[in-house]
A and B are shown apart, each in its own frame.
Chain A
Amino acid sequence: MESAGISVSQTRVSTPSTRSQLLGFNVIWAVALGIGGYALGHWLGSRIGINSRSQTETDTDDVAILMGLAFATLGWLIGLGFFNYPLSRIAGRPATLHEREEHGAWRYLRLCTDHKVVAVQYLVAVLFFFFVAGLNAMFIRTELTSSNATLIPAGNYLTLVGLHGTMMLMMMSAGVLGPLGNYLVPLMIGSRRMAFPRIESLTMWLTVLAGFVLLSAILLGGFPTGWTGYAPLADQARAGIDAYIVSFALIGISLALVGLNMIATVMTLRAPGMHWNRLPIFVWGMVTTSILAVLAAPVLLAALIMVVFDRTVETSFFISSAGGSPFLWDELFWFFGHPEVYILALPGFGIVLEILPVFARKPLWGYRLAVAGMFGVALMSFMVWQHHLFMSGINSDLRPFYMFTTELISIPTGIIFLNGMGTLWKARIRFTVPMLFALAFFFNFLIGGLSGVFLSDVTSDVVTHGSYFVMAHFHYTIMGGLVFALMGGIYFWLPKITGFKLNEKLGKIHFWAMFIFFNLTFFPLFAAGMLGMPRRVSSYNADLHTLNVFVSISAFCLGLSMLIFLGNLVWSIALRRERAESNPWGSKSLEWQLPSPVPVYNFERIPTITSHPYGYGSPEAPAVADFGPRVIAGEGGLA
C-alpha cells in the first residue's frame, strides 16, 4: 500500500475552517443520523405487521424498536463516514489512509485512522461509561442501606443493577485493548499503524454507540435480567431488554474486530528484529486477550439473536413447554461468559508485568513462563464454563470434571505471582503511583483468585453460588485486578500519550483512598454471601443490616476516591498542563524512547529491534532498538 507510511513531508499547512469541519462527517452527524435512523427504522418496523404478540399486546412494538436501533446504528456509522472508503473503493478510487489527520481537535470527533487518536477517543469513552456505571453502583448501595424498604422502586432497582453490570462489562472488555492496546502495541512493536486502522476506529465508535443504546433502556422501561440476560426472563421482559440486546451485540462485534485487528497487527507489522521472544509482555497480554475476544464474542451474538427471535417472531428457543430449553441460554451465554472474564483479567496481567520491571529496575523474571501462563489461561478458559452452572441441574457426572478444570486454571493464573515475586527479588523498588497500583494488583488478585477456589469446589459452591460471595470474588478480580491495573497503566502511560505530567501527590491520595476503601467495601461481602445474601436483591435478612450499611459507606468513599482521580485528570491535563519529559520513568521499553506526545508518524525511521525491553541491571545490555538509518538486508517490514 503506497501510503501506508506517512512521510514527514506531508504535514498540513492549514487546518480546514470550522464550517467545513462541522459539515464534514463527524459525531454530530452521527447523532443526528442515528436519531433519524431510529425514527425511520421504527416506522418501518411497525409497518411489518407480523401480528405477533410482541407487536399487538405489549403496547411497545419490539420489532419496531429493534429495527429502529438497527437503523440507528446504520445512521450512526454513515454520519461518521465509515461507508465513505468502501464506497470510494467500489467506485474505483485508489487505496489511501486519507482520514489520517495530523492536527486539530476535530479529528477526535470523527473517524481518524491514527491509532493514537483512536486510543485517546477510546480512553475518554471507557472512562465516561465507567463513571456512569459507577454512579449506578452508588445508587445500588444507597438502596441497600435499608434491609427492606424500597427507597428505589423494585423495577428501577433491577434496571440499575443491570445497567451497572452490563455497562461495566461492556466497557471494560475493551477497557485496556481499546485505549492502551491500540496506543501502545504499534509503538512497542515498531510500527506506524495498526493493521486495519478504519476497523480500529469502527470498534471505538461502536463502543460509544453501544453505551448510549444501553442507557436508552431507561426510556424503554428498563430491563430486569442483570448483565447475564437469562433467557426465559429475557423473553418476557419489557422493551428495555431490546436496548440491552442491541448494545451487547454491538459490543460483541466490536470486541471481535478489535481482537482481530490486534492479532493481525502483531503478526504482520513487527519491525525488523522483533523476534517473538523480544515482544513486550504487554503485547503478549493483548494478543492472548484478542484470541479470546475473537473466539468468544460470536457465541454471544448468536445467543442474543435467538432471544431476538423469541421476542419478535415467537420462536421458542428458550421455552420448555414449546420445545426449547432455558439451559440453552445458560450454556451459550456462559460459553462466552467465562472467556469474557479472562478477557477482563489478562490485560491486567499484561499491564502489571510491564510496569513492574521499570520500577523494580530488574528484568521481567520468567518471561517465557509468563507468556506460557497467559496462553494457558486463554486456552483453558474455554473449558471451565460449567462452573457457573453447578447448581443448575446439569448432568451431575460433569461436575467433578469442571471442578477439576476450574482448579487447573489456577495454575497458569498463579504463574503471574511467581513472575511478580521473581521480579521483586533483590530489586531496587521506586514507589511511584503506577508501581503502587501494580503492587495492589497482587494483593487484590490474590484474594480474588483464592476466593475462586471456594467457588470451584462444588460442595463449597452450594453455599456461595449466586450469593454476594460471588460478587466479592469477581469485584476483587475484575476491579481489584483489572481496574487497578488500568489505573496504574493510565498513570504510567498518560505522560507519553498527552505529554503532560499527572500530579504525583493527588495520585498517591487517589491510590491509598481507592485501595483502602475498595477492600473495606468488598471484603465484608464475602461474609454477606456466606451468611445468606443472594445477588441482585434489594431486601435481605435484617441481621445483615449493619454489615450492609458499613459496606455502603465504604462504597461511597470509594466513589469519592474515583472523583479524586477524575479531578487529577482534569487538573493535570486540562488546566495545569505541566510538560513531562519524554522518559520520566527511565524505562528501557521502545515506546519511551520516543518524544512525548508521540508524533503522528510514530518513528522517523522504522527501528531495528536489538533486544527485549527489560535490559535492566546489565550495563553492557544492548539498547532495545537501533534507530539508525541501516536496514538489515533481507528482513521485511515497513521502512
Chain B
Amino acid sequence: MSEATVVGTRGGEPRHGVRIAVIWAIATVIVLPLVIWVVGPHIPPGTMSQQTGDQHTVDVALTALATPIVLLIWVYFAYAVTVFRQSGSAIVDGPPITGHRRIEATWLIATSALVLGLAVFGTADLLTTGGAGGGEGPNPVAKPADWRGALQVQVIGQQWLWTFRYPSYGGVETTTLALPVNREIEFHVTSLDVVHSFWAIELGVKADAVLGADNIAFDKPLRTGSFQVRCDELCGLWHGHMNTTGQVMSTSGFTTWIAQQETANAAVTKTLPPYARVYFPTPTRNAS
C-alpha cells in the first residue's frame, strides 16, 4: 500500500504536522534573511553613538528571534482555518483529543529555554555595553570600559525646560546640550520639580529625572551632528513641548564652545548654587 507518494500523507490522511512544519521551514528560510539584512539596518535608532549601535543590535536580534515564532503561529493558524474548516451548515464534531503529554512538555521546555536564553543574553548585553544608555541610578553597576575618563554632564529637568551643567567647566549652565565626539559621556540626570525623563533620541540615552535623585547614564557619541532631546515622562502642561536640539561637535569645536559659554555666562554662574548631584528646592522657590 503505497499511498505515501504525496508528501505529507500517510494512509490517505494527510500528515498535517509535517505539512505545517515544511511550510514553516520554507517561510522562515525566506523571511528571516529579509528581516535581518533588508529590514534590519533600517530598524531605529541608528548608529550615532555606541549605545544606539548596541540597542540596534539587540533590536535586530530580538526581531530575528521573533520572526520564526510569528511565522510558526501564523502558518499554523492559517493552515488550521483553511484545512480544518467545516463547510456547509451541518455541525460535525472533531476528534476528542484533550491533550498530549509530550507536546505539552516539549512546548514548556522550548519556551523555558528561549526565555532563559533571552535573560542571559539581555543581562550579558546590559553589562557589556555599560548600561546601554539607560538610567542606572546613582550607583551604576554596568559601566563602560572607559568610564573613568568620561565627561560629566548634568541634565536638569524642570517644568518645562532642560538645562545642562558642566561640572568640569566651573559648573557653567546652558540651555543647549553640546558634546564632544568620541568621548564617553556620563550623564547625571536630575529634576527640580516633578518626574521628567531625558531622552536623547539619536544618542540612545534615556534616564528619568527625579527630584532628589541622581540618575546616571553613559553614552559615547561616535559621529558629529545634531540630535533631538525630548521629555519622556508626562510632567504637566508643556510635556510635549519640552524639546531641544543637541549637538555633537568635534573635540576642538566643543572646547571652543564651552569656553564661549563660560565667558558669556560668567555673571549668572556666580549666582548658581555649587554643583551638586541633587538639588533640593525649598518649597515654592529656589533649588539649592
A218 contacts partner chain B, Cβ-Cβ < 8 Å = no
Interface centre among A411, A457, A467, A617 (most CB of B within 10 A): A457
**Whole-angstrom CA separation of A574 from B280 in the bound complex:** 62
**Set of chain B residues within 8 Å of A462, measured between Cβ atoms:** 51, 55, 132-134, 204-206
Instruction: State whether B213 touches A458 (Cβ < 8 A).
Output: no
Contacts of A621 in B (CB 8 A): 96
Query: Would you call A459 and B58 a contact (CB within 8 A)?
Result: yes
Determine if B44 and A463 form an interchain contact, defined as CB atoms under 8 angstroms apart: yes
By a CB distance below 8 angstroms, the chain B residues around A158 are: 234, 236-237, 239
Quick one: given A224-B234, A326-B195, A428-B93, are A442 and B240 in contact (CB under 8 Å)? Answer: no
Contact of B197 among A391, A411, A586 (CB under 8 A): A391
Per-position binary interface string of chain A over residues 613-625, scored 1 when its CB falls under 8 Å from any chain B CB and 0 otherwise: 0111110010000
Q: Which residue of B is nearest A421, CB measured?
A: B76
Distance A365 CA – B141 CA, assembled complex (angstroms): 45
Given contacts A236-B194, A393-B135, contact A410 B91 (CB under 8 A): no
Name, among B135, B202, B215, the residue most crowded by chain A CB atoms within 10 Å (CB to CB): B135
* Contact between chains at B134 and A458 (CB < 8 Å): yes
Interface residues of B in 202-256 (CB under 8 A from A): 202, 204-208, 210-215, 228, 230-241, 243
Is the beta-carbon distance between A362 and B70 smaller than 8 angstroms? no
Contact A426 B138 (CB under 8 A): no
Number of A-B contacts (CB under 8 A): 307
Question: Contact: A459 with B119, CB < 8 Å?
Answer: no
Q: Could you list 29 A-B pairs, sorted by A, with CB under 8 Å?
A: A230-B234, A330-B195, A362-B95, A393-B138, A396-B136, A400-B123, A407-B115, A410-B115, A414-B107, A421-B80, A425-B97, A427-B84, A428-B94, A429-B81, A429-B84, A429-B85, A431-B85, A456-B122, A457-B121, A457-B125, A458-B126, A459-B126, A459-B129, A459-B134, A466-B197, A535-B234, A536-B234, A537-B239, A541-B228
CA distance A381 to B237 in the complex (A): 33
Tell me the bound Cα distance from A537 to B232 in angstroms. Answer: 9
Residues of A within 8 A of B122 (CB): 400, 403, 407, 456-459
B108 touches A411 (CB 8 A): yes
Binding site for B on A (CB under 8 A): 154-155, 158, 224-226, 228, 230-233, 236-237, 319-322, 325-327, 330, 360-369, 390-397, 399-400, 403-404, 407-408, 410-411, 414-415, 417-418, 421-422, 424-431, 439, 442-443, 446-447, 450, 453-454, 456-463, 465-467, 527, 530-532, 534-541, 586, 614-618, 621
User: Are B104 and A366 closer than 8 Å at their CB atoms?
Assistant: yes
Closest Cβ–Cβ distance, residue B117 to chain A (whole Å): 9
Contact, CB under 8 Å: A439 / B77: yes
CB-CB < 8 A to B204: which residues of A?
462-463
* Alpha-carbon separation in the docked complex, A410 to B118 (Å): 11
Are B93 and A617 in contact, CB atoms less than 8 angstroms apart?
A: yes
Minimum CB–CB distance from A316 to chain B (whole Å) comes to: 9
Instruction: Judge whether B237 and A155 touch: CB under 8 Å.
Output: yes
Partner pick for A225 among B121, B230, B234, CB 8 A cutoff: B234
B112 CB within 8 Å of chain A = yes
Q: A233-B195, A462-B204 are in contact. Are A536 and B239 (CB under 8 A)?
A: yes
Query: Given A365-B99, A396-B140, A425 and B195 touching (CB < 8 A)?
Result: no
Which residues of the partner chain B approach A228 to less than 8 Å between Cβ atoms? 234
Residue of B nearest to A537 (CB): B240
Knowing A230-B194, A400-B126, A403-B122 are in contact, say whether A586-B76 is a contact too (CB < 8 A): no
B139 within 8 A of A: yes
Contacts of A431 in B (CB 8 A): 81, 85
Shortest Cβ distance from residue A133 to the other chain B in the assembled complex, whole angstroms:
18
Contact across chains for B215 and A411 when beta carbons are under 8 A apart:
no
B-chain residues with CB within 8 Å of residue A404 when the two chains form the complex: 119, 123
Quick check: is B26 within 8 A (CB to CB) of the other chain? no
- Checking A225, A325, A463 against B45 with a beta-carbon cut-off of 8 angstroms, the contacting residue is A463
- Whether B44 and A429, one on each chain, are in contact in the complex, defined by CB atoms closer than 8 angstroms, is no
Q: Are B94 and A410 in contact, with the CB atoms below 8 A?
A: no
Cβ–Cβ contact B100 & A422, under 8 A: yes
Given A428-B86, A458-B132, verify A530-B73 contact (CB < 8 Å): no
Rounded to whole Å, the gap between the CB of B58 and the closest CB of chain A is 4
Assess whether B135 is in contact with A391, with CB atoms less than 8 Å apart.
yes
User: Is B91 in contact with A457, judged by CB distance below 8 angstroms?
Assistant: no
Q: Give B101 Cβ to nearest chain A Cβ, in Å.
A: 10
